[in-house]
Amino acid sequence: MKKKSIRNLQSEIWPQERDVIESPHRLQYVRKVIKPRGCVFCAASRNPDHPSSLVLLKSRTMLVVLNKYPYNNGHLLILPRKHGGDFETMTDKNLIAMQLLTKHSLKILKKVYKPHGFNTGMNLGKVAGAGIPDHLHYHIIPRWGGDTNFFPLIAQTKLVVETTEQSYNLLKPHFEKLEKRNVV
Ligand SMILES: [Zn+2]
């Protein structure tokens, strides 16, 4: 692979955010997500060994990826490497792999972050809240007492204590061990 800076590769994989002035006459600053070319999950799947892909574990068919825009620290995504947004077309093998990876991810997150609970699940379709509706992904979101929507309501922003880089460095060794066990 041609040597690229982390910044370049990251901008190829993940959508980039920009602070822009939406209505200059009102000086209203808005954070906009610049639409990436192509599918971010497929791009991550093509470069799974690069830290910028945020891939924590890869198997032949599945990935565990850190969410670039987490709702909380340790927000993970489990997804098939094959592009597609229809849950019904997932193979039984991948469905089982997704659940096995969920089990093991919960174990690792409990150990690393000691959360009080989790939200897990999928948003199917844009209308249901899927940010990337064309490529299936299963969310695992650690929860702590008092982390609810108080901050977004008052400040229109989320309080995430860690950077994704810090989360990646914390979680990667645990998922490397899991990857070597070939559980999926
Ligand atoms: Zn894709």
Predicted confidence (pLDDT) per residue in 98-122, tens digit? 999 999 999 999 999 999 999 999 9
Taking the centre of ligand 1 as the mean of its atom positions, its distance from the CA of residue 115, in whole angstroms, is: 30
Matching residue, tokens 């209203």:
28
Taking the centre of ligand 1 as the mean of its atom positions, its distance from the CA of residue 154, in whole angstroms, is: 35
Tell me what pLDDT residue 12 has.
56
Instruction: Compute the distance between CA of residue 109 and CA of residue 171 in angstroms, rounded to an integer.
Output: 8
Tell me what pLDDT residue 181 has.
95
pLDDT band at 1 (very low <50, low <70, confident <90, very high): very low
Tell me what pLDDT residue 42 has.
96
HEC assignment per residue over 36-102: CCCCHHHHHHHCCCCHHHCEEEECCCEEEEECCCCCCCCCEEEEECCCECCHHHCCHHHHHHHHHHH
Map out the domains of the chain as residue ranges.
Answer: 39-180
Mapped onto helix, strand or coil, the DSSP state of residue 30 is strand
- Tell me: pLDDT of 2 over 50: no
Taking the centre of ligand 1 as the mean of its atom positions, its distance from the CA of residue 134, in whole angstroms, is: 7
Taking the centre of ligand 1 as the mean of its atom positions, its distance from the CA of residue 102, in whole angstroms, is: 20
The structural architecture, per CATH, of the domain 39-180 is: 2-Layer Sandwich (3.30)
- Tell me: pLDDT of 137 over 80: yes
Residues in the chain: 184
Of 78-82, 99-103, 146-150, 170-174, least confident by mean pLDDT is: 146-150
Taking the centre of ligand 1 as the mean of its atom positions, its distance from the CA of residue 22, in whole angstroms, is: 30
- When pLDDT is averaged across residues 3-11 and rounded to a whole number, the result is 53
Predicted confidence (pLDDT) per residue in 13-57, tens digit? 666 665 555 445 555 555 666 666 789 999 999 999 999 999 999
